[in-house]
């Protein structure tokens, strides 16, 4: 599995785990399901994409990752607004997702078709 060698995959796994743990006792199952699934999708799509054979397929999955990051950041902002997420934690997560997004953008460039 090539993804386990990627720092971006490791960071996204760690962040998804942090979000899962944070919401383990949340009674709002709709919100909890949405944010945890979105965060899980980031690491999962990195893994799935990086295992593809064609550059085009890899880039397609990395595009999906970017969308999942946008979705997760949206959920974090909403969670802060409705007091489900402490602001200092939410902004820390957002900052980490912004860093992951930069890493994904750089990774995509390595798979540009010539």
How does pLDDT run along the chain (114 residues), one tens digit per residue? 688 999 999 999 999 999 999 999 999 999 999 999 999 999 999 999 999 988 999 999 999 999 999 999 999 999 999 999 999 999 999 999 999 999 999 999 988 755
* 26 assigned to some structural domain: yes
Domain of 62, CATH number, reads 1.20.1440.60
Give me the pLDDT at residue 113, please.
56
* 114 assigned to some structural domain: no
* 44 assigned to some structural domain: yes
- In Å, what is the CA distance from 26 to each residue of 31, 52, 58, 97? 9, 36, 35, 22
- The parent domain of residue 14 ranges over 2-109
Do residues 50 and 64 lie in contact, with contact meaning Cβ atoms separated by under 8 Å?
A: no
Give me the pLDDT at residue 53, please.
87
* 25 assigned to some structural domain: yes
Number of separate domains in the chain: 1
Do residues 47 and 9 lie in contact, with contact meaning Cβ atoms separated by under 8 Å?
A: yes
| Residue whose token pair is 């919100």 | 31
* 80 assigned to some structural domain: yes
């Amino acid at each position: 599995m090539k993804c386990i060698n990627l720092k971006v995959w490791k960071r996204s796994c760690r962040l998804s785990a942090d979000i899962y743990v944070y919401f383990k006792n949340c009674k709002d199952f709709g919100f909890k399901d949405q944010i945890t699934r979105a965060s899980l999708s980031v690491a999962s799509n990195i893994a799935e994409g990086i295992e593809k054979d064609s550059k085009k397929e890899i880039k397609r999955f990395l595009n999906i990752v970017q969308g999942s990051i946008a979705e997760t950041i949206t959920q974090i902002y909403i969670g802060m607004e409705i007091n489900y997420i402490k602001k200092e934690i939410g902004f820390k997560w957002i900052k980490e997702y912004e860093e992951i997004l930069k890493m994904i953008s750089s990774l995509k460039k390595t798979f540009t078709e010539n």
